[in-house]
Structure 1
Amino acid sequence: MRRYSSLHGELFSDVLAKNLIGAKSYDRIAGYFSSSILEIAGEAIEKMDGKVRIICNSDLEVEDVKTAKLATEALSKEWCDFKPEELPPNKARFQRLYDFLKSGKLEVKVLPNNAFGLEHGKAGVFTLADGSKTSFLGSVNESYNGWKINYELVWEDNSPETVKWVQEEFDALWNNQYAVNLCDFVIEDIGRISRRTVIPGVEKWRSNTGNASAVTIESVISRNGYGLWEHQKYFIDRVFKEHKKAYGARYILADEVGLGKTAQLAMSAELIALYGDKPVLIIVPKTLLEQWQGELRDLLGIPSAIWNGKVWVDENEIIYPLPIEKCPRRIGIISQGIINNGSEACYKLKNKLLSLNYECVIVDEAHRARRRNLSDKKLGQSPDMNNLYSFLMQISLKTHSMLLATATPVQLYKIEAFDLLNILSQANVSVLGDKGSYWRKPNENILKGLELITGEISVDSITEAWHWMSNPLPPSEESPNVKLIRSSAAMTEEQFNCDKLVSEFPINIQRRIERLERDFFASYNPYIRHIIRRNRSYLENTINPETHQPYLPKIEVVLLGENKKDSLILAGYLGAAYRQAEHFCELIQKRCSSAGLFKTLLLRRIGSSMIAGYNTGKKMLEEWNIVDNILLSEDLEDEEIALSDDLKELTKEETDTLKLFVSYLNNANISKDTDPKYNMVKNILTFGVTLDNGEKTVPWKKSGCIIFSQYYDTVEWVAKNISEDIDEEIGVYAGGDKSGIFYHGEWRTESRDKIKKLVKERKVKILVGTEAASEGLNLQTLGTLINFDLPWNPTRLEQRKGRIQRIGQTNDVVYVYNLRYRDSVEDRVHELLSSRLESIYKMFGQLPDVLQDVWIDVAVGNMEEAKKRIGTLPKKHPFDVKYNEEVQNVDWESCDEVLNKDAIRNKLLEQW
């Protein structure tokens, strides 16, 4: 045995370098993953004949490495959290390390520290050139400081029994079931960093290449999240390339819920804001303002400001008393409520917004921009635009690029797709051509164009086809035939109207036009080119030729609670109270012909939970006008509802009905023992669910569960009671300052960011949330979802499911349980829709928003009207799957040039 000390020699030369020269192998139990891999003794390893194997410890959890997919994601994230790109530049070290890893001369495995804990286990075995072996133990880490600078102690021992013992320790760790190989992402990132150069400023980036990759490769989402998937990168890259052209980017992003539309739009907004000097405006439903700002901040690290109706509020909640046209950030977010409202104050705000010119305008839930004259008899007429449609038509003239987002570009009628393209086409001939375009001609011609692309009709001749094809003529990149036609007509890429007749082209070009016509109406028409839609099934079943894996890992959703026997019985006092709520809504209906959500308020609350119904009934009795301000805030989103004069007071019959409603719930003695929904949730969390095939799931509290309700009354009551029945911390995620933790019935307030962190770290496995949790919240560590109530807006149901059926989900199968009372409004609507739910979902990708009116019709007793609305749904999707956009690989990961982070932030902090 030989003893070494930093005081009496050089550990590097005395132990490491001496033994590595010509060595056949070096097996090393090292310290922490990131530093160990970066600071190995490169020069000495180069002198080896064999290879080095290093086993490191890591902050990974055992749960993170149970599958290869999880291990890759977790290890990639830990590597990025280490921020290797921010280390002092040492390209030679990174290049050497990359070469070792790629050649196989260095192999690294990582073991979660909660498997054993490796922080203090440091040892190694050398197999020397002559085949003999020696081993060492000591305090030294596998780092430059460890071997050359720090004070360390090392014992070297070449006795067979010691070598055998150290080797067995190494082998046990190296072959442990939880030890995972260093993933390709980490290896390739080491290579990228070895070539990395920094572009100092935005202007230099613009004039140099303006490549998206220089901004995206080290963005927060790329380094701290689950990264961007190929379909997301494809859209962002396409938008940014189009924005740099004279005519700008004009697209409808129609991906299904859960495929990351917000991330795609947010990254596009950042790139566009950096490339130009004019503002970027984002228009979203009122309920999504904070979620949008949060995702910009958390996913991408992007500063922004939201207009709260009076002032601007930045990403740090700092208030700026500036007018609406002076946003303190390059990216400003406003509510659609401002646009929908017809008040004088909102009219002035809209005019101020229209006084500016924009780099880009982004609109979320854009299908809300609709014509009022939507019916079979009026589709041929010019659109009677609602306020949002009209405003977007105007602001389209004031922006270079425009992006509209909606999962349902077509709710019921093909013409709805035209209306969205109509918005994009203002002052932009690349979308629908110029004023002489056949695609833009009003009335029947618009419908004819839609029927041509759906294959319902066809053209009679190449001359007629050319009228449709030539204005707008697609860009050259769309097809070799288009490129030759454009070249023959001497058209620039900024020109879209080819005014030559077919007969005026040379014969060979005429043949090219005929070839183009064969595929034009299916593949190159304006709708296909400007509506980008990818559905989950397409991405899960389409193989990426680069990786030979699907573009998106498949996440199967098992829907439970759908059978009639699964509905909960409305019995006793609860059933009596529900019937009084129905009677009350029918009474209000007689005096209120509009505002469907308002007049069904009580029914929706009691349909959620006994406690929500009871609290609402009491508030209505105490002060009827309170529904005009407090209660509606959770229900009406951007609708501006005020009580008409004849509804300012309740009638005697209405008051008596409300009193009876409250008394029945009083008599029911509301508690966790008497609420049938609560008891069902408790059983599911504790014992799991028996599936149709007889198999039983694990208890849902083990696999992690999110419980949704529309109403905070319900959320608070459910969470508190669960915390008393299950010995775990129960998270509450809601708007404002209402988020926190219940433990054994005791409450402590926590920020929403803290709640998200606890869920991500698996320290909170049961989360109860309002609709605030249905947007902007990633719950990949939770494998189950319970809908405590069913929102009447179908999009809300999809958004809830999208919290767990999303990119990065750690489970291959997720379970969703829908709770509903038997013979309730929800149950009756479910029965009406049940025969068509599957076909509707397959056609639209989700349930159209317009089906919300079915719930209202059923609630007020208009069953025939409800059936009529369902009957109007088409039997076939108007565009089938033709705008399932092909996904192409976009290589950002190998990017060598990176735009300085401070330069990015400083640009985005500029005021309008």
Structure 2
Amino acid sequence: MKHNLLLEQYSKYKKIELEESPFHFLLNANIELNPHQINAFCAAIQALKTGGIVLADEVGLGKTIEAGLVLKYVIDSGKNHILISLPASLRKQWEIELLEKFGLTSYILDKQTVEKDFKYWASRLTDSSKQSIIITSYAYSSKLMKAFPKAKWDFIIIDEAHNLRNVFHGTKRAKNLFELSKGIPKILLTATPLQNSLTDLHGLISFIDPRIFGSEKVFVKRYVNDQDYADLKHELLPVLYRTLRKDVAKYMNFKKRICKTVDFSLSVDEIELYQRVNDFLKRDILYSIPTSNRGLIILVIRKLLASSSFALIETFEVLKQRLEKLYQGTRSANAQEGFDLFWSYVEDEIDESGFEEPDDEDTVIQKQYIKSEIDEIDEIITVANRISTNAKLQALKSAIKIAFDYQQEHEISQKVVVFTESKRTQKYIANELRKEGYQDDDIVLFNGDFDDAMSKELYRAWQVKNFGKVNYGRSVEYKHAIVDYFKNNAKILICTDAGSEGLNLQFCNAVINYDLPWNPMKIEQRIGRCHRYGQRNDVVAINLLNTQNAADQRVYEILSKKFELFEGVFGASDIALGVLESGVSFEKMILEIYQSCNTTAEFKKAFDKLDRKLNAKRDKKAKQLRSLLLTESSNAKEASLDKTKEEIAEYLREVEYWSDCTEARVEGGLRYLEVDNECMNMLCEHGTLFIGSFCNSTSLLFPVLLLCNSEGTYINVSEPELVEVIEKINDSDVHTFSPSKDESEAYKRVYDKLCSEMLLKYQKQTSPVIEYNKRKIENWERIQMDQLVADYQDMQAEIEAIQHQEKASTNFYEKIDIRKKIAEKKKALESYQAAFHQKGTEFKTEGDKEIAEFNKQFDVNPVLIINIVLKF
């Protein structure tokens, strides 16, 4: 660019503005720019001013990238202490992504790490000048905060936040984190903010700010009972941002899903095994399974029954060992050994208090039951051992051939991912495929344990190949080694659900569900390993179906038709949300049917009932509930993304343009210039151009490039138009001049007017967040009054209940006692009623005080700094 002192002076401030723009963080991040992620990022940094936001994009749209951008912004804004709370299995993945994509160093902390060097972490976490991005599990997050009470956390990220939705009647980890993180700005990441009921939203949004919805009682009355969905959506608008895959199809090329099924029939021995296990699981009394965990363990056993006979053997051996200890008189709490086998299969938390002594009963009778149960388990193990190969395995071989034939026909690399829920089944499949003729090098296993010889060898080779590079940690490096090998060498990856989390397999387009989970979201996660951004081919999902089992067929039909898991472009997560039966709750409904039904007619009746229930949840009301999460219409979302894409392109163009400008040659003070060039006359016949900045004391609010006519009236001309004209002015056309007294007074009047214009511009920028906070606090005041009314009504209802009790009593003395209790309750009610208006006034006073305190941060000492006055 040629030298131009006018543009050079303006560029001084323009460069600062560009650096302070949210888009600035795109320049140093190693990511591909997608408009929806930038929109989510912008929504988040705006929301942080009032507490935070839930980022709820569908699976595979890059919520981690959105969070990383926000984190980068927060750090560059001067905040140093960041806490990232998430499932333990995702800690290393986050550490790597922050380093690779954003250049941010983070630290994974757990109890052992902290205790090993307590003084160091105490010093670091209480030193506000040291940057500390801490990654830790849900369970340890609150323990860490308690261990270092003097540490001031500036920002919190909670990943997979739906795990903490039951904050008010769930696990301690959710309650503790909720209490300790109050008032700290945060973002929550989840693809499923609404899983089982509207109260899920109450739990999640309360993490952002408990004042938005108030108590669960008020929330349920207003939004569940009264169904005030319009108001609910209005309240969600500033605190929930969600994008669906269909919204971004224009920018992210998602391929289709193609569904195929391979049918199979069980052998005689397999049918006998199925029947024996089914009968066993329906026994009224089961000493082999702890009572409080019975449902979960039965669910696991049914999963393994659908997996393979080989997976069942190990399971029933564990149950038998427990029974033998109980038979010998060992306390059942000590008969817990081996039950770790089950925990990896279930998403609910295990109740360890369930391993208590059986009900006190006659020891002889108890031993008879236990002996009978051991005999039944022995029969199950005998039948399972009799089976040398499973019919389903033959179906798998056919499925692999179908996948390979499809890939060959479409000239795609031959690769397939086979999912099973059992490690034992995983090894059995690998051995049988090798017998079929597949080479050892064709097959690779992934389950998170990395205990087989091949995985260890692949890891060693990967270490040699990547010697001297970043140390990711053993488990993550194993994952890299196996994925790299599958991508470049192997044809078949046999994977368990426990090992699949975080795998990116978009180079493979075939997924086979060897056994099919009942949890729709788990199936979605499986297919999502391949059907994700970057996949170049349609994804083939193949399921193996037992044609002899009507119940299995009905489950598959529901998963396929109701949840639309296996076909189409956009996957299932939003459909699953629509019927509000995704995940664990749906899984338990299916288990109940398997446990309670015995005949074909009973199964048909139960599944028909479930069908009707799911259909009812897809009606007008269901669509209305789903729409709560979509804070923009499809057209508005598309327009918003188009606009963002244009803004990103414009921002990058501006960065390139202004970075080409040399440093300003007009430093400090004010220069009066006039121009001979007639270019300015294109905008206005005579007038003045002002170049400078509008500041809060000394910090820049925005650069100033303003045009006024000869009367001193501000002319609204866009920056690009002004820059285009200024470009045509040569330095030789510009001369200094000394303003006359009249001109100086005129410039002073214009200056005052421009100050007012700039202040209005600033207030217009800040007014949305000020108005939202005011509305939020005023809504909180109304919620508090609603809570008072609800409590008053509860007290009235309690008095009425006691009055009914008094009328029903036939005992004179009892009546006297009840009447005393009624009198006490009425007196308390009267006191409560008398204080009602006073409490309302207190809420109003507290709210006004908080609004005023919040607004102080936007107060400015406005200073308009003019460096150049250009007369033309």
The 1:804/1:653 distance shift into structure 2, 3 A limit, reads same
Partner Cα separation in structure 2 for residue 824 and residue 714 of structure 1: 23
What does the per-residue CA deviation read over 1:432-487, in whole Å, with 9 as the maximum and x for residues that have no partner?
Answer: 6xx7xx9995552344785241xxxxxxxxxxxxxx7xxxxxxxxxxxxxxxxxxx
Q: Secondary structure at the match of 2:489?
A: coil
**Matched-pair contact (CA < 8 Å) for 2:506–2:532:** yes
Deviation at 1:803, TM superposition (A): 0.9
**Matched-pair contact (CA < 8 Å) for 1:414–1:450:** no
Segment drifting more, 411-420 vs 707-716: 411-420
The 1:647/1:535 distance shift into structure 2, 3 A limit, reads farther
Partner Cα separation in structure 1 for residue 118 and residue 422 of structure 2: 32
Segment drifting more, 723-732 vs 644-653: 644-653
Q: Which residue of 2 aligns with 1:19?
A: none
The one-letter code of the counterpart of 1:816 is: A
The 1:330/1:852 distance shift into structure 2, 3 A limit, reads farther
Deviation at 1:405, TM superposition (A): 2.1
Deviation at 1:291, TM superposition (A): 4.0
Deviation at 1:868, TM superposition (A): 6.6
Q: Which residue of 2 aligns with 1:632?
A: 342
The 1:415/1:651 distance shift into structure 2, 3 A limit, reads same
Q: Which residue of 2 aligns with 1:848?
A: 582
Q: 1:659 aligns with which of 364, 372, 378?
A: 378
Q: 1:754 aligns with which of 438, 456, 481?
A: 481
Partner Cα separation in structure 1 for residue 304 and residue 120 of structure 2: 38
**Matched-pair contact (CA < 8 Å) for 2:260–2:542:** yes
The one-letter code of the counterpart of 2:153 is: Y
Q: Please, what TM-score do these two structures have when normalized by structure 2?
A: 0.57
Partner Cα separation in structure 1 for residue 68 and residue 423 of structure 2: 29
The one-letter code of the counterpart of 2:157 is: I
1:768 aligns with 2:494: yes
Deviation at 1:877, TM superposition (A): 3.4
Deviation at 1:796, TM superposition (A): 1.4
Deviation at 1:634, TM superposition (A): 1.8
Deviation at 1:664, TM superposition (A): 0.8
Q: 2:446 aligns with which of 733, 741, 752?
A: 733
Q: Secondary structure at the match of 2:350?
A: coil
Q: Which residue of 2 aligns with 1:782?
A: 508
Q: Which residue of 2 aligns with 1:597?
A: 296
Q: 2:84 aligns with which of 282, 306, 325?
A: 282
Alignment of 1:241-260 (within 5 A): 241-243=46-48, 245=49, 247-248=50-51, 250-260=52-62
1:359 aligns with 2:69: no
Deviation at 1:411, TM superposition (A): 2.0
The 1:404/1:826 distance shift into structure 2, 3 A limit, reads farther
Q: Secondary structure at the match of 2:445?
A: strand
Segments of structure 2 that go 5 or more residues without pairing to the other structure are 3-10, 324-334, 360-366, 463-477, 566-571, 598-602, 660-872
1:408 aligns with 2:117: no
Partner Cα separation in structure 1 for residue 497 and residue 427 of structure 2: 13
The 1:676/1:275 distance shift into structure 2, 3 A limit, reads farther
Q: Which residue of 1 aligns with 2:691?
A: none
Q: Secondary structure at the match of 1:877?
A: helix
Segment drifting more, 574-583 vs 842-851: 842-851
**Matched-pair contact (CA < 8 Å) for 1:255–1:533:** yes
The one-letter code of the counterpart of 2:238 is: R
The one-letter code of the counterpart of 2:39 is: Y
Q: Which residue of 2 aligns with 1:815?
A: 540
Partner Cα separation in structure 1 for residue 74 and residue 459 of structure 2: 44
Partner Cα separation in structure 1 for residue 227 and residue 206 of structure 2: 13
Q: Which residue of 2 aligns with 1:683?
A: 398
Segment drifting more, 704-713 vs 826-835: 826-835
The 1:877/1:578 distance shift into structure 2, 3 A limit, reads same
**Matched-pair contact (CA < 8 Å) for 2:419–2:512:** yes
Q: Secondary structure at the match of 2:202?
A: helix
Q: Which residue of 2 aligns with 1:451?
A: 228
The 1:851/1:638 distance shift into structure 2, 3 A limit, reads closer
**Matched-pair contact (CA < 8 Å) for 2:80–2:131:** no
What does the per-residue CA deviation read over 1:364-406, in whole Å, with 9 as the maximum and x for residues that have no partner?
Answer: 232233459xxxxxxxxxx64653553353244141x221222
Partner Cα separation in structure 1 for residue 484 and residue 117 of structure 2: 29
Alignment of 1:34-113 (within 5 A): none
The 1:421/1:747 distance shift into structure 2, 3 A limit, reads closer
The one-letter code of the counterpart of 1:402 is: K
Partner Cα separation in structure 1 for residue 139 and residue 545 of structure 2: 31
What does the per-residue CA deviation read over 1:844-895, in whole Å, with 9 as the maximum and x for residues that have no partner?
Answer: 4586122121233134326788877776552323434433554332527655
Partner Cα separation in structure 2 for residue 206 and residue 623 of structure 1: 70
Partner Cα separation in structure 2 for residue 631 and residue 447 of structure 1: 40
Q: Which residue of 2 aligns with 1:311?
A: 113
Q: Equivalent pairs: percent with the same residue? A: 21
Alignment of 1:490-639 (within 5 A): 525-540=234-249, 550-561=250-261, 566-587=262-283, 594-595=292-293, 596-622=295-321, 625=335, 629-637=339-347, 639=349
Q: Please, what TM-score do these two structures have when normalized by structure 1?
A: 0.54
Which is helix-richer, 1 or 2? 2
What does the per-residue CA deviation read over 1:574-633, in whole Å, with 9 as the maximum and x for residues that have no partner?
Answer: 222222222332237756554322233322223222322223223433456466553034
**Matched-pair contact (CA < 8 Å) for 2:322–2:336:** yes
Q: Which residue of 2 aligns with 1:397?
A: 182
**Matched-pair contact (CA < 8 Å) for 2:145–2:151:** no
Q: Secondary structure at the match of 2:623?
A: coil
The one-letter code of the counterpart of 2:240 is: I
Partner Cα separation in structure 2 for residue 683 and residue 446 of structure 1: 51
**Matched-pair contact (CA < 8 Å) for 1:280–1:358:** yes
The 1:837/1:415 distance shift into structure 2, 3 A limit, reads same
Deviation at 1:809, TM superposition (A): 0.8
Alignment of 1:823-862 (within 5 A): 823=549, 826-827=552-553, 829-830=555-556, 836-838=562-564, 843-844=575-576, 848-849=582-583, 850-861=585-596
Deviation at 1:663, TM superposition (A): 0.9
**Matched-pair contact (CA < 8 Å) for 1:780–1:803:** yes
1:263 aligns with 2:65: yes
Partner Cα separation in structure 2 for residue 298 and residue 706 of structure 1: 27
Q: Which residue of 2 aligns with 1:644?
A: 355
- Count residues in correspondence: 567
**Matched-pair contact (CA < 8 Å) for 1:362–1:404:** yes
Q: Secondary structure at the match of 1:810?
A: coil
Partner Cα separation in structure 2 for residue 219 and residue 409 of structure 1: 28
**Matched-pair contact (CA < 8 Å) for 1:705–1:784:** yes
Q: Which residue of 2 aligns with 1:668?
A: 387
Segment drifting more, 868-877 vs 357-366: 868-877
Partner Cα separation in structure 1 for residue 626 and residue 60 of structure 2: 20
The one-letter code of the counterpart of 2:252 is: L
Q: Which residue of 1 aligns with 2:569?
A: none
The one-letter code of the counterpart of 1:883 is: T
Partner Cα separation in structure 2 for residue 686 and residue 699 of structure 1: 14
The 1:206/1:777 distance shift into structure 2, 3 A limit, reads farther
Q: Secondary structure at the match of 2:393?
A: helix
What does the per-residue CA deviation read over 1:133-175, in whole Å, with 9 as the maximum and x for residues that have no partner?
Answer: xxxxxxxxxxxxxxxxxxxxxxxxxxxxxxxxxxxxxxxxxxx
**Matched-pair contact (CA < 8 Å) for 1:731–1:767:** yes
Deviation at 1:746, TM superposition (A): 12
Alignment of 1:144-223 (within 5 A): 209-220=19-30, 222=31
Partner Cα separation in structure 2 for residue 321 and residue 286 of structure 1: 21
**Matched-pair contact (CA < 8 Å) for 1:256–1:533:** yes
The one-letter code of the counterpart of 2:29 is: S
**Matched-pair contact (CA < 8 Å) for 1:231–1:551:** no
Q: Secondary structure at the match of 1:268?
A: helix
Segment drifting more, 608-617 vs 646-655: 646-655
Deviation at 1:739, TM superposition (A): 7.1
